[in-house]
């Protein structure tokens, strides 16, 4: 297979370009191919050469192990990640990311059949392993970047709506304040014209707040989506690393199965997890560690945050999620974080619980229904 790929490299790339060009609203460009099929083909050839020379370490470094079970990206993983990011920037969909690599597989098998070139089972296994790892890394990065774009746009939209609400509330409050001053200075009753202005301003503020509440309720239901758990954890990890560095604590995060997904309001769930992590770094003892672990069952995904706070006092676990409940000498907050976090999780049909580990610490667990990416 290595010799076949080397001798027919240009023909295979040309066939891939042709397949891409035939798809609706799609054309192969130099930008799209920068980290795509030509680079992957060259890495596949080098992987096959390493296996022929009995150099398994070089093979794993280039293309990664079967199933992608590696703490670091292989060479194929690095270029596939860049390719997935480029395709998103070009406006393509996730299925087109997969098709890019499927085109090469089809081109190889078609050309080999036409020219009656036999391949060994081992070579086919290597080809499939390389394709599998490349597709997984490209799709993961594509999904991560897409989720970031969506979250950024949602944030901008929310800021615009919030700005409108604040502006109108400020105007109504300003008018009400002026009316009160006028009533006080003139020693007038609220039954007159000035009192009517005050009542109208208060009514306007009430209406604005009511509309905002209605919008929040409707938006919360509309924003439920199915999204990548790996990308979700990666975003939470990035923010938590900053807190860990400031607190002088170690931070451990377990890897996440790429196809796992959860469903709900992503921003509220992310805020809930961020709250748990901030609490963990706040209360864990100096020079200890905080762990973010992902466990899965047939029906659920468990997101666990474990600290080394030394354990909970008797009876505290039962009332930790009550509003305005604080359980340390640090009174910098309002004691609402855990209450809000639980409400956010339960709104998406999940649960948030705490388990005390006497003498060690405690483990907060978010349990949500398990889903899978398309």
pLDDT confidence bin for 226, thresholds 50/70/90 = very high
Nearest alpha carbon to residue 171 among 201, 200, 196, 215: 201
Residue 205 in 3-state DSSP?
helix
**Could you tell me where the DSSP H helices lie in the chain?**
2-7, 9-21, 30-33, 37-52, 56-63, 75-89, 94-114, 121-186, 193-222, 229-247, 266-283, 337-347
Model confidence over 127-165: pLDDT tens digits? 888 888 888 887 887 777 777 777 777 777 776 667 667
pLDDT value at 330 more than 70: no
**Which has more pLDDT, 353 or 199?**
353
**Which has more pLDDT, 224 or 29?**
224
CA dist 95 and 140 (Å) reads 12
**Confidence at residue 314, expressed as pLDDT on a 0 to 100 scale:** 80
pLDDT value at 219 more than 50: yes
- For strand 361-369 and strand 300-306, is the pairing parallel, antiparallel, or unpaired? antiparallel
**Confidence at residue 28, expressed as pLDDT on a 0 to 100 scale:** 46
**Which has more pLDDT, 97 or 342?**
342
**309 and 354 Cβ atoms separated by less than 8 Å:** no
**Confidence at residue 13, expressed as pLDDT on a 0 to 100 scale:** 84
CA dist 371 and 37 (Å) reads 31
Nearest alpha carbon to residue 182 among 198, 170, 171: 198
pLDDT confidence bin for 119, thresholds 50/70/90 = confident
**Which has more pLDDT, 302 or 98?**
302
CA dist 104 and 120 (Å) reads 18
Q: Which residue has the tokens 């992503």?
A: 266
CA dist 66 and 85 (Å) reads 23
Tell me the mean pLDDT in the region 354-364. Answer: 93
**Confidence at residue 292, expressed as pLDDT on a 0 to 100 scale:** 97
Distances (CA, A) of 101 to 16, 20, 109, 336: 9, 11, 13, 49
**Confidence at residue 332, expressed as pLDDT on a 0 to 100 scale:** 45
pLDDT confidence bin for 331, thresholds 50/70/90 = very low
The mean pLDDT value of the chain amounts to 81
pLDDT confidence bin for 325, thresholds 50/70/90 = low
**Which has more pLDDT, 46 or 247?**
46
| Residue 290 β-bridge partners | 251
Model confidence over 35-85: pLDDT tens digits? 577 888 888 888 899 988 899 888 888 888 877 666 677 888 888 787 777
Tell me the mean pLDDT in the region 307-330. Answer: 73
Of 56-65, 198-207, 358-367, which has the strongest mean pLDDT?
A: 358-367
- Contacts for 276 with CB less than 8 Å, ≥ 6 apart: 305, 338, 341, 364, 366
CA dist 234 and 227 (Å) reads 12
**What does pTM read for this prediction?**
0.43
CA dist 170 and 205 (Å) reads 9
- Contacts for 246 with CB less than 8 Å, ≥ 6 apart: none
CA dist 31 and 40 (Å) reads 15
Residue 319 in 3-state DSSP?
helix
The single-letter DSSP state of residue 313 is: P
Distances (CA, A) of 249 to 38, 112, 244, 284, 307: 44, 56, 5, 8, 10
pLDDT confidence bin for 16, thresholds 50/70/90 = confident
Tell me the mean pLDDT in the region 245-256. Answer: 89
pLDDT value at 14 more than 80: yes
Tell me the mean pLDDT in the region 202-206. Answer: 79
């Amino acid at each position: 297979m290595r010799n076949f790929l080397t001798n027919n490299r240009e023909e295979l790339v040309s066939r891939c370009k042709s397949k891409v060009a035939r798809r609706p609203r799609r054309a192969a460009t130099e930008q799209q191919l920068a980290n795509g099929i030509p680079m992957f083909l060259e890495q596949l050839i080098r992987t096959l050469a390493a296996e022929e020379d009995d150099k398994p370490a070089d093979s794993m470094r280039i293309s990664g192990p079967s199933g992608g079970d590696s703490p670091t990206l292989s060479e194929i993983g690095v270029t596939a990640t860049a390719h997935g990011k480029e395709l998103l920037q070009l406006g393509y969909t996730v299925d087109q990311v997969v098709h890019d690599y499927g085109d090469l597989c089809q081109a190889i098998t078609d050309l080999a059949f036409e020219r009656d070139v036999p391949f060994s089972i081992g070579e086919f296994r290597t080809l499939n392993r390389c394709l599998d790892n490349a597709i997984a890394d490209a799709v993961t990065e594509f999904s991560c970047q897409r989720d970031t774009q969506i979250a950024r746009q949602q944030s901008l939209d929310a800021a615009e709506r919030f700005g409108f609400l604040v502006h109108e509330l400020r105007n109504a409050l300003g008018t009400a304040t002026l009316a009160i001053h006028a009533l006080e200075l003139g020693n007038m009753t609220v039954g007159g014209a000035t009192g009517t202005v005050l009542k109208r301003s208060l009514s306007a503020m009430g209406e604005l707040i009511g509309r905002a509440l209605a919008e929040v309720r409707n938006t919360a239901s509309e924003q439920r989506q199915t999204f990548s758990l790996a990308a979700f954890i990666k975003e939470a990890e990035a923010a938590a690393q900053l807190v860990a560095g400031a607190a002088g604590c170690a931070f451990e995060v377990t890897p996440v199965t790429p196809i796992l997904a959860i469903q709900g309001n992503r921003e509220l769930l992310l805020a809930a997890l961020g709250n748990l992590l901030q609490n963990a770094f706040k209360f864990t003892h100096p020079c200890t560690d905080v762990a973010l672990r992902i466990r899965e069952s047939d029906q659920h995904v468990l997101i666990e945050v474990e600290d080394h706070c030394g354990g909970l006092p008797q009876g505290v676990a039962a009332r930790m999620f009550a509003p305005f409940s604080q359980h340390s000498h640090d009174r910098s907050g309002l004691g609402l974080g855990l209450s809000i976090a639980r409400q956010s999780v339960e709104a998406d049909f999940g649960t948030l619980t705490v388990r005390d580990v006497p003498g060690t610490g405690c483990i907060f667990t978010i349990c949500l229904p398990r889903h899978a990416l398309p």
